[in-house]
Chain A
């Protein structure tokens, strides 16, 4: 497991402030325009290398609809200007900026800031 850096960082694109930056994996491990699942302590975090937008996003891997650990395997895209991920099971879509469900009545998902430094991807977490 990687050492966590207790660095205060800036949140990105509407995500909450990070108290802790977790060094997840090298950039090369994150296929472009797709999601990748990262383990952090007991949690599963989906990280999206949205190369088309030159942006990185992260959210909980758990889809609230049927409580499945699966969002990292979903397709990403946009609706208007809003980046989104679609759950593979029933295509619930969630904003990667705010975590809100865009096409159904569903709980918001947690989103996290991401930064890339020296070829490594860091996820900003609350603890």
Chain B
């Protein structure tokens, strides 16, 4: 069997092993990696500071190598190649022989020779070891800077920000990301980064790193200085070509192992890939070209057809500190004469530039900052040399209605357009799967072509192509739940209502197939709850994690307990009752964003007792665990507040008591504010009410979370009764028509006609369903009961709350540590 030795276990070295093993089981693969751990994602190193552990960053878990018959030697540096004898030698003195050798030694951080660079407090940003050192040093200081405002430098800046430091970025060039974006784009990016708290210094040439022993400040060529306590150098990379040099392989004068289009060095048995390589005078500092090099070599070694590596399109789209940036084709208009068209919206922090050929027919390249949603399409237009529309500026000023323009766009793509660059899948490949091979879902396409399995960036475009092609074939594309039901959620809603079915198995038997799964079971559970409002534990087996035990599951397998505190109002006696119960059961307590109290660390068997105690004190379930109504926040309003114009607290309590227990496609949160100052933050809620002199303004469709959105004004100045009626209708309409796990904001964003249409339906009753919606809501309200009370009172239900069925003992793996005088689980990332 052929024996391949891979020198280097970085991202590209790892990818090579993966690709070679996928192609052939008949090759011995042995890897030597210098670093002490297996390959990890260097691109997302900054995630290390926002909570990811080293394990999460691993490209593959340690057992993957053994599982795939790859011998990985970590912490072992290859020091010598004996080309004649086809052997390598490592720093331990061990020798090993190869039939073919693949050098994937990567690069090291370039450290410019500036006076004082050896002072303590100066680091590079490349390995996890570097990061550990940076993290440790950051604890002792308050202010740091990154030298280098390129891709990696800005990643390092994010890391410093996450460490809580005052963060500066020092860049030699007049702009940030000088290879990807232009001056104007950089200004927009700089402005956004400044808003995040990063101070940018461009056109600064550092001449001295000052300090007495440890770093104290930087001095620049223009005479200015910057006092800082830590410097992270991210000013470029230098290929690790020393092994090749020593073995007398060709190396470029500025560094980099010289290779041909086959990634071969001067030695026919030695390949080189990744950042260590110089191909056509280019060193590629991105991971995507490295992966392609890896694939080319893997195919050659496996004796299979391969594509020559002739260079790589350095177009890229990424999110830099929350800012979308795209750069494609020739971003600067330097390769051919061109005319740039620029769109700038300083209010939104958006900059878009496209370079049009002189004859106006082709797109040559461009830059996107702040909004890169058009990247895929524009990129495709460049690489396929597609003909531009009559007014090319329309490409930049889209109105964001993705539906129509996307389908027009993907239909215009030529069949040869490469949609997935990681796995080289063309539009023709995808269309063929859909037309001739019965592919009906993105999963089908993934399985058969491997599209979307690399970086995942092509997923939106693959989805668009799927949708458009299916529509061309006359198939309407429905958002069916999963393999067990060929219906949408809305259709199932109608079926359940119409047939009166009340349990999952009956529904599955009559209208579905197979045995269900973790997607359809909770969806159906939610529908049943929304329609019949029966006790959800009568359908315990189909409930999602939290609903199963009516509590939010936490790390370690304990649960949290949240009693309802409507409107955020509570008496001292009730506060003390909660305090007593929390103390009795040794629970961790915290006040929530929803203006109530959360108690953590309850074992599953303790839940019924704790709730029994709470119910005895007059509390009921807060439904913090459900896709249900959570809370209605309030600010004090006219009872106490000198500015309040209506009694917001009473209204909030009324609303929360009205809709408590309501289950929906996703959680629902509301708020009532007593005046325009809006202290209850009603505009970030699914529905929010703000008091006016004349009555209430009702806002709908807002949410916080990872994609925050403000609610929109539905009606103004309505009285209390009307307000409640409209909320009844709004909520029932949402419950009836939304997709699973969709917040009201997403539901409204996708709604044809948007807010205008919603207003027609809810306020003006354009569909004639208002009375029905109101009566359905009335029915649900009438059916309300506290589900925890039911559990506490029903021995058969209580009996389900135990860790073991055959034993009364506890889970002995449960453990806690102490933090600020209370308990918490040990970090599950630490082994």
Contacts and interface: CB of A to CB of B under 8 A. Distances in A.
Contacts of A79: 483, 517
A25 B806 contact: yes
Contacts of A29: 805-806
Nearest to B541: A34
Interface string A33-52: 11011110000100100101
B521 A75 contact: yes
Interface residues of A, number: 42
Interface in B805-831: 805-807, 809, 811, 813, 828-829, 831
B556 interface: yes
Interface string B541-556: 1101100110001011
Interface stretch (B56-64, B140-148, B488-496): B56-64
Contacts of B308: none
A84 B806 contact: no
Contact of A50 (B505, B515, B522, B813): B515
Contact of B828 (A37, A66, A107): A66
B516 A31 contact: no
A58 B261 CA distance: 53
Interface in B507-547: 508, 514-518, 520-522, 540-542, 544-545
Nearest to B519: A77
Interface in B725-754: none
Contacts of A31: 540-541, 800
Interface in B42-82: 60-61, 63-64
B446 to A, nearest CB: 12
Tell me if B's interface is mostly helix, strand, loop or mixed.
loop
A59 interface: no
B191 interface: no
B803 interface: yes
B553 A89 contact: yes
B412 to A, nearest CB: 35
Contacts of B64: 105
Contacts of A91: 518
B560 to A, nearest CB: 14
Given A34-B540, A69-B811, A53 B515 contact: yes
Contacts of A74: 518, 545
Nearest to B544: A75
B255 interface: no
B266 to A, nearest CB: 38
Contacts of A66: 555, 828-829
A14 interface: no
B695 interface: no
B518 A78 contact: no
B541 A33 contact: yes
B306 interface: no
A37 B516 contact: no
A83 B553 CA distance: 24
B61 A88 contact: no
Interface of A: 1-2, 24-25, 29-34, 36-39, 44, 47, 50, 52-53, 66-70, 73-80, 83-84, 86, 88-89, 91, 93, 105-107
Q: Which 5 A-B pairs have the closest CB atoms?
A: A77-B517, A86-B518, A88-B545, A34-B541, A78-B515
Given A75-B522, A105-B60, 10 more contacts: A24-B805, A37-B804, A38-B805, A52-B516, A66-B828, A67-B828, A75-B542, A77-B515, A78-B516, A78-B517
